[in-house]
Structure formats: C-alpha cells, structure tokens
Amino acid sequence: MEIRKVAVLGAGLMGHGITQVAAQVAKCDVSMRDIKQEFLDKGMGMIKGSLQKFVQKQVISEHEMNEVLGRIHPTLDMKEAVEDADLIIEAVPETLQIKKAVLGEADKYAKESAVITSNTSSISITELASFTQRPEKFCGMHFFNPPQLMKLVEIIRGAKTSDETVDTIVNISKKMGKETVVVKKDSAGFIVNRILVPALNEAFSLVWEGVAEPEDIDKAIKLGLNWPMGPLTLADYLGIDTTLYIAQVLEKELGAKYSPSPLLRQMTRANLLGRKSGKGFYDWTKK
C-alpha cells in the first residue's frame, strides 16, 4: 500500500516533529490535528523554526521550506484530518483514556484501507488496537525525540497486526529517511525503553544513595560508555514525569525489578521535571 496522505493527531513535542518529517522528507500531504488553536499555532511555529534552521545551515532552500509548509494542513476537525488519510499517526499525551478517545474517533472517520499507528513509548499496542475496529491494520510507530534528527523508528506488532501493515509502515518509515527495527512481540517498553529506563532509574538510585554527584554520574557514563549525554541530563530532556510513567508501566507489566527509584517519584511530586519545568537535576532556566 502506498502512503500519499498522512494525518498526525497531536501537534505537541512529538506530533509537530513527525508532521515535519512526513512533509519534508517523505513529501506527503499531512493534516496535523489538535484540540485547541493555540496548540496548532505553537506546533506550526516550532515546524517553521526547525525549517528555518535547515535553511540557515543550507540543508534546504527557502523555496523548499515554503513547499514543505504548503504540504502541512493544521486543523481542529478530526473528520477533516483523517477521512482521506492513508496513514494515521496518533501522537497525543501518554495517557490511556486520552488515546482511547482519540483512536476511537479517528477509526470512525477513517477510510477502510487506512492504517492507524500509535507513537506510544510504552503502552500495549494490542490494547490500543482494541479501541479501533481494525486491529490487523494497527501497529506501534515509535519515533524518537526530536523526530527531525533522530534516525530510529520502532515498529511494534500488536497481537493481530498483519504482515502487510508492518511492511507498509517499514516502507513509509524508510521514505521518511528513518532506520527501522521491528518488535515482533508486544512487550512493555519495546526495545529501547526496556533497556534505557532501567539504566536511567539506576542513575537516580546512585544520586538517592549519595554514591556520587549528578555531574560526575553523567561524566562517567559519557566518557566511560560513550553516551552522547549523561543519563541524568537525558532524563531532564525526556521529562522526569515521563521517565517515571514508563518505569511504572515496566514494573506493572514485567515485575518488581523495574520499580522506580524513590528519587524519581519525589522529583515528579516536587514538579522538578527537567527542561519542561525549568529545573530537574540541572537548572534549564539559564540555558
């Protein structure tokens, strides 16, 4: 199945980036849908800012930037967003009830041949597929932040996902300039977060136990394991609350060894969420 039209549900941190990649690299027509005009305006502002950086670096021309913007259609109307789409990518907040409502509505208005995917980082694909009438045409399509720069897409099978659906999403991901990995079994955290989040959690435990200062933990992992940034800096980027949420999903699905560090819980309660709140392990208000 060839993907010509894409609908991205959500104009936030991930949604606007996925929209840009689909329009810029895959050259698809993209409807970007959100529930408030201010969210759409902010998303379009971030897309324009990102494209302008590509122009400044001479990666694309100003003419190409305007062509990309011409392929993006922001809308508040779900029916308008999805009715002609070949591919629908859900990128709303990582909350089951929100995803259930959005996926159910999208499924109702989407054409029969459309494939629906979720950008979830941890929720069961089989469960999300059950909110639609097309579980065989549903899978996980997990981008990484920022989607404009990060090369990987995890493609996750649900219990009923067809081979044809997986092939379609592998192909469109490659058209977007991405490298793909296929997660054969719907397991919490998929590949990346199942390995990453316990590593981040262990870094929280080192701070909680007073083993070392955050700066030294980050320095040790950057220089000792050749990570591009330390685990605590990365947690600040991802969001401390998001890290806690994924850790709780892993604990619930896979057992007590994935239990979140007390510091992870404490920082979330204190709204020390990292870059999004201004402070986490580091002060982002001055950066």
73 as an active site residue: the answer is no
Q: Of 286, 287, 197, 272, nearest to 241 (Cα)?
A: 272
**Catalytic residue of the set 50, 122, 142, 261:** 142
**Catalytic residue of the set 121, 122, 124, 173:** 121
Residues paired with 117 in a beta bridge: 89, 139
> In angstroms, rounded to a whole number, what is the distance separating the alpha carbons of residues 170 and 181?
8
CB 88 within 8 A of CB 113: no
Q: CA dihedral in degrees (175, 154, 141, 184; nearest 10)?
A: 110
**Catalytic residue of the set 50, 118, 193, 261:** 193
Q: Of 75, 133, 129, 142, nearest to 109 (Cα)?
A: 133
16 as an active site residue: the answer is no
173 as an active site residue: the answer is no
**Catalytic residue of the set 16, 154, 201, 261:** 154
Cα Rg of the chain (Å, integer): 19
Q: Say which residues have a Cβ less than 8 Å from residue 46's Cβ, sequence separation at least 6.
A: 16, 17
The residues carrying an active-site annotation are 121, 142, 154, 193
